[in-house]
Amino acid sequence: MNVAQLVVKCLEHEGVEYIFGVPGEENLDIMDALLDSSIQFIVTRHEASAAFMAGMYGRLTGKPGVCLSTLGPGATNLLTGVANANMDHCPLVAITGQAGLNRQHKESHQYYDLVSVFKPVTKWNVQIKKGEVVPEVVRKAFRVATQEKMGAAHIDLPEDVAATEVGESPLNLMNHTLSEASERVIQQAVRLIEKAKRPLILAGNGIARSRAEDNLRAFVKKTSIPVVHTFMGKGALPYTDDLSLLTAGLVGKDYITCGFTKADVIIAIGFDMAEYPPRSWNPDGAVPIIHIDTQEAETDANYPVELNVLGNIAENLKELSVKAGCTHRNNDWVADVRKAALAELAEYRESDSFPVKPQKIISDVRSVLGKEDILISDVGAHKMWLARLYHTYQPNTCLISNGLASMGVSVPGAIAAKMVHPDRKVVAVCGDGSFQMSSAELETARRLGVPIIILLWRDGGYGLIEWKQLKKFKRSSNIKFGNPDFIQLAKSYGFEAIKITEANQLKPAMEKAISMNKPVLIDCPVDYSENMKLTEKLGDLPC
């Protein structure tokens, strides 16, 4: 058995189902070993897409997704997706082929020190220089990737090492254990919560990672504390719950911002600092924080932690629910905020304006997708609209990358999501800018036979950047581009394709796409004049 075969054997032992990637010269031995493996290699059209797929697999399963590239440009292409997973705290293990040890001491074809390149965007990485360390390296990579807070690990494998003979075996697997907060800390948290007149919960991505939504809901029911969600925490509390204050995160004032201005203590649960900068919701740093998470928070002047409740989020919430008394609070203001926010989605439900207004698109999509179906947002102006107005019942049903927030994530992400959940409908929402960054993966979707739906918001430019430019300078700069015929492009890849020419066609088109059970692209022109109207509306919003 050579080192490459041992690596594959260790990956099998870790329960790896798929490796996403692009084959190359320096990973020849790995590719050959996979022919005799139970692991399915998913050939992608770009290495960044491979990492996006692996990251989405990790986010939805809690198990590391695995991606593979060759050295040089293959590895640097992979880097963006690895960084995206790491900042979104998705478990991922990246493997790169590498030049042989015999030429790493000098300038050499396609050679870069990939351990140094990947170090800033991973939790841990290493180059394998001796075959006998493979079992330890693979086990550690998977352990580190899944330890809270989850993220990316990277293994660099030189081609000459990969071909050497070795006799080791995989190491035994061990489950992670997370401690729980002490009785003293739980009691202290209860006292702070019961003392507060207007506490507010900020629900973050860590709730979904910890599968703690049921315990959060029990805690909210017991204490009557309203909940604001980050983009990545959506669904921790169903949007239909009277205590759900929906989603915050749009820079500037919003209906939900009123909740933060009223709060005298904020209970941040599973909150990652990259999700929603504290300066946006605690600008003076005056409101104290109860930080419930697996780790202490990043130091931030606008995030004054009064108490850390650290360890297993689900178990700590369970203990807080047991110890806290039943509380009846005056939450009339919550109903007022919910009414205003929910009315915005309904406002354009029957609109026949064309191009289609963002509110109308989201209303139509929400009406045809079920509670467990998955929508994946790419990065652009549509992301801001979806975060505000696409309301959810469960975590991980509206998936938004809000750490690195890399464009091009939705199409490869949707492919992986459909592989993980073949029984659910999966929709990728992307702008024409982000779509073109990973549109070659339409071939991957068609080859794999995954019936994803791609809903393209077409405006012929980088809409989010134009929005920011207009807000700051009252004029836009270099944001327009040309587009292909998306219908013909999709059909050339074997997709069904539907073009929207009237506002009332979108909902029937979504229903038709679902009934086809095939890969489908829907080309929908969007009216982004609503962006600045929203900016003006929120600017005048009184709390």
Q: What is the pLDDT of residue 269?
A: 98
Answer yes or no: are the C-beta atoms of 31 and 21 closer than 8 Å: no
Is residue 198 within 8 Å of residue 264, measured between CB atoms? yes
Which are the contacts of 272, defined by CB distance < 8 A and separation ≥ 6? Answer: 89, 149, 204, 205, 206, 232, 403
Q: What gap in Å lies between CA 225 and CA 131, rounded to an integer?
A: 55
What is the per-residue burial (b if ≥16 Cβ within 10 Å, else e) of 508-532? Answer: ebbeebbeeeebbbbbbbbbbebbe
CB burial readout 70-98, b (16+ within 10 A) else e: bbbebbbbbbbbbbbbbbbbbbbbbbbbb
Instruction: Return the HEC string of 15-81.
Output: CCCEEEECCCHHHHHHHHHHCCCCCEEEECCCHHHHHHHHHHHHHHHCCCEEEEECCCHHHHHHHHH
Residues 383/377, Cβ–Cβ less than 8 Å: yes
Q: What single-letter DSSP state applies at residue 120?
A: G
Give the rounded distance of the alpha carbon of 256 from its chain centre: 22
CA distance 462 to 451: 28
The residues near 182 (Cβ < 8 Å, ≥ 6 apart) are none
Residue 204 confidence (pLDDT) = 96
Asked whether the beta carbons of 292 and 316 are under 8 A apart, the reply is: yes
Distance (Å, whole) CA 509 – CA 50 = 29
pLDDT values of the chain reduced to their tens digit, one per residue, 543 residues? 999 999 999 999 999 999 999 999 999 999 999 999 999 999 999 999 999 999 999 999 999 999 999 999 999 999 999 999 999 999 999 999 998 888 888 888 888 999 999 999 999 999 999 999 999 999 999 999 999 999 999 999 999 999 999 999 999 998 888 899 999 999 999 999 999 999 999 999 999 999 999 999 999 999 999 999 999 999 999 999 999 999 986 665 677 777 788 899 999 999 998 888 899 889 899 999 999 999 998 899 999 999 999 999 999 999 999 998 777 777 888 888 888 888 888 888 889 999 999 999 999 999 999 999 999 999 999 999 999 899 999 999 999 998 899 999 999 999 999 999 999 999 999 999 999 999 999 999 999 999 999 999 999 999 889 888 988 898 999 989 999 999 999 999 999 999 999 999 999 999 999 999 999 999 999 999 888 887 776 655 555
DSSP 167-178: ---PPPP-----
* Inter-residue contact 25 to 158 (CB < 8 Å): no
Contact 12, 36 (CB under 8 A): no
Query: Structural domains in the chain?
Result: 3-162 (3.40.50.970), 183-332 (3.40.50.1220), 348-539 (3.40.50.970)
H/E element, 246: strand 244-247
